[in-house]
Structure 1
Amino acid sequence: MTPLAFGGASVDGGFYLWITHLARDTPHAVDTTVADWSDYGLALFGVLMLAAWWRARGAGQARMVRSLAAPVIVVLCYVVDVLVKSAVAENRPCRTLHTVTVEACPAVGDWSFPSNHAVIAGAAAVVVALTDRTLGRIAAVAAVLMAVSRVWIGVHYPHDVAVGLAFGALLAWPLMLLADRAAPLVERAAGTRIGELVTGAQSGG
């Protein structure tokens, strides 16, 4: 497939520069905290999906099916994003605009649009929310913070993360609804020893 070579600077390059200049003038401790969150914060979504699964144990087939499907759907969203990203081939803003950034600019060929982190965060927020509303609120806030952090450290344009969040969320939503059809499989699996461990269901004695 021939890359589209999208030029993102014309979309919101000025806004990106305003944010990176603001980050440059912000205390180092704040930038370090944002950078750490940006680099490692996706782990929180894994924890939230695990917590959603734990809370779904014994709470009915619908919630259990969704909790088991959640990580699979997030991975699928990531794979689709990688394909889209390779097709669009948008250069990182830190390479196009040559501004000072909190983190080092990714290597040439590590494309920018849409943001992998934002896609994963958007997808994870949806799958968690459709499994557990309480945890979903935490995931939604975390997803927005993740998206903002990617612009703050200088590795993405604002449109990269905005589209990434929407893309991940809109792709994950129908996939989660489709996963509901797997309820009979979970019901049958619940009758096995492994199924009891995974679903928290107790087989009849």
Structure 2
Amino acid sequence: MNYELFQLINRWAEHYALLDRIMIFIADNAQLIFAVILVLMWFSSKQHDLRERNQRTALYAAICSLLALSCNLVINNVYWHPRPFVDHTVHQLIPHSASESSFASDHAILAFSIAIVMAMQNHKWKYIVLGFAILTAVSRVFVGVHYPADVAGGAILALLTSLLVMKSKNILEPIIQLVFRLYAKIASCLPFFQQYTVYRYDQKKNV
């Protein structure tokens, strides 16, 4: 079933040049794009309440991503699965090491960790980011470096860690506050960044 689903997606590769270029770009650059999304979230509002909510969402998403990727490292050490191009003749559009386990997809983990947390926080970009997360997962199969089960596994792992992170807000609050304070300290020397702080560094009661 997994290979059959893989074929349904991968068979479209190398038929339409524009589609190939789009999928290659997404498959290669999705991690950078999602990192940019986190940065944009941090700097997306000058209104204090909305700014704090957006920055919290960005931090929760970053924590979830790190936790899920760390869990995947453990999975890779105890379970190894070959890439599609190792066992089959596929349309492989990007180079990739055959020695790295196919399950689960780091790209899918990162994409869905951020998208799911944004959905849980009801962020206004949630549908766009979730759609791009799905497109990222499809692109990794399209270019021939992952099976559908790899990206589905990444999405499930992202969901589980997202639920854990969002249920642990009280435990994570000291970390969130520390990041806010460190950022405020740095921003106190950089005028542009001061307008995006939750705390003012010069207010001792908040430091």
TM range (shorter): 0.7 to 0.9
Instruction: Select 1:121's aligned residue among 111, 114, 121.
Output: 111
Paired residues of 2:30 and 2:136 also in contact (CA < 8 A): yes
In the alignment, what sits opposite 1:160?
Answer: 150
Which 4+ residue blocks in structure 1 deviate beyond 6 angstroms?
Answer: 188-192
Matched, 1:47 2:47: no
**Change in 2 beyond 3 A, CA 1:94/1:185:** closer
Structure-2 residue corresponding to 1:32: 21
- Take 1:195 and 1:181, find their aligned partners in 2: how far apart are those partners? 25
Alignment of 1:167-186 (within 5 A): 167-183=157-173
- Give the counterpart letter for 2:21 in structure 1: T
Q: How many residues align?
A: 193
Equivalent positions of 1:1-205 (< 5 A) are 11-24=1-14, 26-55=15-44, 58-59=48-49, 64-104=55-95, 106-131=96-121, 133-183=123-173, 193-194=184-185, 197=194, 199-202=197-200, 203=203
**How far, CA to CA, are the matches of 1:162 and 1:45 in structure 2?**
18
Q: 1:92–1:112: 8 Å Cα contact kept in structure 2?
A: yes
Question: Tell me, which stretches of 5 or more residues in structure 2 are unaligned?
Answer: 188-193
- What residue ranges of structure 1 are gaps of 5+ in the alignment? 1-10
Shift of residue 142, structure 1, vs aligned partner: 0.9
Is the Cα contact below 8 Å between 2:65 and 2:110 reproduced in 1? yes
Residue identity matched to 1:36: F
CA contact (8 A) 1:94 1:101 kept: yes
Secondary structure of 2:61's partner? helix
Classify the secondary structure of the residue corresponding to 1:201.
coil
Deviation at 1:36, TM superposition (A): 1.0
Q: Following the alignment from structure 1 to structure 2, what is the Cα–Cα distance between the partners of residues 18 and 100?
A: 12
Query: Equivalents in 1 of 2:127, 2:4: separation in Å?
Result: 31
Distance between the aligned counterparts of 2:80 and 2:178, measured in 1? 45
Shift of 1:17: 2.2
- Of residues 137-146 and 79-88 in structure 1, the stretch that sits farther from structure 2 once superposed is 79-88
Deviations 1:121-151 (A, max 9, x none): 1111122333452122221111100000000
Considering only aligned residues, what root-mean-square deviation do their CA atoms show, in Å? 2.9
2: CA distance between counterparts of 1:82 and 1:191? 31
